[in-house]
Amino acid sequence: GDSVTQMEGPVTLSEEAFLTINCTYTATGYPSLFWYVQYPGEGLQLLLKATKADDKGSNKGFEATYRKETTSFHLEKGSVQVSDSAVYFCALSKDSSASKIIFGSGTRLSIRP
């Protein structure tokens, strides 16, 4: 079945470091891909998305490119801040109305000042 695999955490970085969180997926057809972020005590928020191959999603300095050849959607940020500390979830959906979202297990990111 369809699934999402992302790197296990926790990931701890110093402020201004470069961030990569790996995500790969298994799915038939052409899913849409997402990154969600969950800040402490809050609900998941959609961070960025890409709906077709080679699309790049970006938001708040984060980027991810839909790579169909490697079935990947790695999350990157050039210079992280303490406020980026959160849990990040990679996800996919094959439904255009996003009814059914399949999530990865989440990666906890902690940024040291």
Partner 1 sequence: GAVVSQHPSRVICKSGTSVKIECRSLDFQATTMFWYRQFPKQSLMLMATSNEGSKATYEQGVEKDKFLINHASLTLSTLTVTSAHPEDSSFYICSARALPGLGDLGYNEQFFGPGTRLTVL
Binding site for partner 1 (CB under 8 A): 4, 36, 38, 41-46, 48-49, 59, 89, 96-106
CA distance 32 to 109: 24
DSSP 67: B
CB of 16 to partner 1, least distance (A): 26
CB of 113 to partner 1, least distance (A): 26
The smaller minimum CB distance to partner 1, of residues 41 and 113, is found at 41
Helices and strands in the chain: count of H runs, count of E runs: 0, 12
The smaller minimum CB distance to partner 1, of residues 49 and 74, is found at 49
CB of 105 to partner 1, least distance (A): 5
Place of tokens 């439904």: 95
- Going by their DSSP bridges, the two strands 45-50 and 62-65 should be labelled as unpaired
Q: Classify 42 as helix, strand or coil.
A: coil
The smaller minimum CB distance to partner 1, of residues 22 and 103, is found at 103
